Amino acid sequence: MSNLPRLIIGTAGHVDHGKTELIRALTGINADRWREEQERGMTIDLGFAYLDLPGGGRAAIVDVPGHERFIHNMLAGATGIDLVLLVVAADEGVMPQTREHVAILDLLGVSEGIVVLTKADRADADMIEIVREDVRDLLATTGLADAPQVVTSARTGEGMDDLVRAVDEAAGRVRAHDVDGPARMPIDRSFTIGGHGTVVTGSLLRGRLRVGQQVAIIPAGLETRVRRLEVHGDFVDEIAAPARVGANLADVPRDSIHRGDQLVEPASMPASWLLDVELRLLPTAKRPLRQRAPIFVHMLTAEASGRAALLDGRDALAPGETAVAQVRLDRRVACAAGDRFVVRAYSPPTTIGGGVVLDPAPRRHRTGRVEIVEAVEAMRSGSPLRMVEEMVRQRGRAGATTDEVRLHLQLTAEQVDEVIRQAAEAGAIAWIGDRWVAGEEHGRLTGLIADALADYHRRQPLRLVMPMRDLQAATNAPLAALQAIVRAMAEAGRVVADKGGARLADHAPSLCGEIGKLAEKAMATIRAAGMDAPDRAAALQALGGDEGAPGLLDYLLAQGDLVAVGDHIYAAEALAEAQDILRRHFTGRAFTVAVARDALASTRKYIVPLLEHFDRTGFTTRRGDERRLRE
């Protein structure tokens, strides 16, 4: 018979209804680990056992305390189970903690279970039938409404074979765990074994663990290596979900790991103190949950205090009502979209509701905004395709990387690639730069770029391109996204990317209208100056002296109508005339600055930079203090 794990079973029920005795009768294992538990005959913390099933495989069993004082321990054990054994004593029937445990199981979405009526040797047939009916009524509106009932007695052994068969049958109905995804194990215990170091235990809910594997502890932020793996007392090299696992970790101090942390593959899960959730208040809650009221949140093995902001802006959530909310915790927790949680009130400490995580790492939201409510509600579908669309959409122009999408959806790399491909083909998301943005955001950024370029061309008609820094300032877009969209627009023929900027494809600088008249007047003034050319400041004044003057000057320089020589601006005709004069005077012979100054009837302030300009452009060559015209 194979002892490979098949499912994880959890117990539930009122204190003293015989949960631990039932497990001992089924498995021969006393799940009460502590001396205090054994002396008092009452389970205080989580206990563990296993059951080999007739159909093959092994069921891990998590025994939870039934006393209301230890409900936080019950919550740590109940989350993540595949099948519940709801234990009700046949001689007492439904009790307060039976009701609270059933409410918790329903909030956690547990839909596979077996009702185990214990202590049948203490009740007659009529009493047992009354208890059966009470339990059916209790479960009628929950996911366990169709749970089979088995009558047992741990003392006499009655019903034990029937219970084993019922568990075996249920094992074939439970949902298969994802064994290919990244490993995920919420930690419920951490302790030290002399000579071996830190050991953590938990229920492996997804993926596989193997000896030597690198793992992370979140949200503690630790990375370590698995030294040894133990499953139900046996050391193994590798184990797949679902299973109760003990993992011996390398070089990790025990006091750095706590119940509520999770052992996962590195960089495979986010941790956040903000959660977008669907929140449901139980009909049995004694009072409404006020906007931003303090609460305790229990999720997997973690618990944290926080406040619930009702996103639709209502003042309170009434008993029996459901709303989308943002839970703001006092510390980070690791979770994924789809994780279930339970909410308990501060005073009195009772279970009042719970729900499901829609976004495990959202931005902080304002309440009372319709678009936020609609976006968060859209995450309810649970479809990976819809979830990636909404996740990317909510992040606006900041977008999301492929790794961020993978963390959010908690899928394998291959699964994420497929979902992203589908979303991109549908136009719901688009790749720009180094991240994904919503399709409508991509279209909006494209429109913003086109509008910014058109506006720039209207304001600066003589500049060929809009510098990229100005385009980024006008659109407020991330540089990588901006450059990617400009490239795409260039490939489509809508823009031309050139010289560190961009322009619309149909834009061409030209002098026309008032600008043309101003340029003509300024050119006449600069031509008339001849060799006494104005400096740059004076040239800008001649060109109007306003914000458009630099662009007009750059245009005239680029066109060759004006030439910058040192700090001065010459008309092209003035330089041509200067070259003609130098040819007439100095063809075939050398000349100095002084004789060139006299020939051009100018001053040294102008002549020195002018001759250096002629050297650079190849009209003259210099040797020492003398120059010659280049043949």
Cα–Cα distance list, 427 to 141, 443, 488 (Å)? 41, 10, 15
Q: What is the phi/psi pair of residue 464, to 5°? A: -70, -45
Cα–Cα distance between 337 and 342 in angstroms, integer? 15
| Count of domains observed in the chain | 5
240 is written with which tokens? 């797949």
Residues 294, 319, single domain; the answer is yes
Cα–Cα distance between 205 and 225 in angstroms, integer? 19
* Cβ within 8 Å of residue 92, ≥6 positions away: 14, 17
Percent of the chain with pLDDT over 70: 94
Q: In the predicted model, what is the mean pLDDT of residues 345-349?
A: 85
| Cα 527 to chain centroid, rounded | 64
pLDDT at 67: 52
pLDDT at 34: 47
pLDDT at 180: 86
Per-residue confidence band for 329, with pLDDT thresholds at 50, 70 and 90: very high
Residues 259, 308, single domain; the answer is no
Residues 422, 530, single domain; the answer is no
Residues 258, 294, single domain; the answer is no
Q: Across 433-561, where does the E strand assignment appear?
A: 435-438, 466-467, 495-498, 501-504
Angle separating helix axes 71-78 and 96-107, nearest 10 degrees: 40
Q: What is the phi/psi pair of residue 407, to 5°? A: -60, -40
Domain span holding position 556:
520-629
- H helix or E strand, kind and range, residue 161: helix 160-171
Q: In the predicted model, what is the mean pLDDT of residues 1-14?
A: 77
Q: Which of 311-325, 351-365, 526-540 has the highest mean pLDDT?
A: 311-325
Per-residue confidence band for 239, with pLDDT thresholds at 50, 70 and 90: very high
Per-residue confidence band for 37, with pLDDT thresholds at 50, 70 and 90: very low
Per-residue pLDDT reduced to its tens digit, 566-602: 889 999 999 999 999 999 999 989 999 999 999 999 9
CB neighbours of residue 390 within 10 Å: 25
pLDDT at 125: 93
Domain endpoint, select from 114, 147, 171: 171
Q: Identify the residue whose tokens are 């200067």.
A: 578
Residues 433, 331, single domain; the answer is no
109: left (phi over 0), alpha (psi -120 to 50) or beta: left
pLDDT at 38: 44
pLDDT at 292: 94
35 vs 406, higher pLDDT: 406
- Establish how many alpha carbons lie within 13 A of residue 568's alpha carbon, considering only the half-sphere containing its beta carbon: 21
> Which has the closest alpha carbon to 66: 84, 83, 82, 45?
45
Judged against a pLDDT cut of 50, whether residue 408 lies above it is answered with yes
The answer to whether position 249 is within a domain reads yes
pLDDT at 68: 60
Domain endpoint, select from 142, 171, 200: 171
pLDDT at 32: 56
Q: Identify the residue whose tokens are 């040192």.
A: 566
The answer to whether position 176 is within a domain reads no
Q: Identify the residue whose tokens are 């955001």.
A: 441
Domain endpoint, select from 319, 348, 378: 378
Residue 421 three-state SS: helix
- H helix or E strand, kind and range, residue 500: none
125: left (phi over 0), alpha (psi -120 to 50) or beta: alpha
> Which has the closest alpha carbon to 27: 5, 58, 7, 51?
51
pLDDT at 511: 67
> Which has the closest alpha carbon to 328: 368, 273, 376, 270?
273
**In three state form, how does the secondary structure of 255-290 look?**
HHCCECEEEECCCCCCEEEEEEEEEEECCCCCCCEE
**Residue type for position 46:** L
Residues 533, 609, single domain; the answer is yes
Q: What is the phi/psi pair of residue 32, to 5°? A: -80, 110
pLDDT at 31: 63
Q: In the predicted model, what is the mean pLDDT of residues 465-478?
A: 88
The answer to whether position 386 is within a domain reads no
pLDDT at 555: 79
Per-residue pLDDT reduced to its tens digit, 78-110: 777 899 999 999 999 999 989 999 999 999 999
pTM given for the model = 0.71
pLDDT at 326: 96
573 is written with which tokens? 């005709």
The answer to whether position 370 is within a domain reads yes
CATH code, domain with 223: 2.40.30.10
Per-residue confidence band for 382, with pLDDT thresholds at 50, 70 and 90: low
The answer to whether position 390 is within a domain reads no
- H helix or E strand, kind and range, residue 216: strand 214-218
52 vs 433, higher pLDDT: 52
pLDDT at 44: 45
Cα–Cα distance between 50 and 31 in angstroms, integer? 10
Q: In the predicted model, what is the mean pLDDT of residues 424-441?
A: 83
Cα–Cα distance between 521 and 568 in angstroms, integer? 18
Residues 11, 142, single domain; the answer is yes
Per-residue pLDDT reduced to its tens digit, 369-380: 888 888 787 777
Return mean pLDDT, the chain: 87
Per-residue pLDDT reduced to its tens digit, 204-215: 999 999 999 999
Residues 17, 127, single domain; the answer is yes
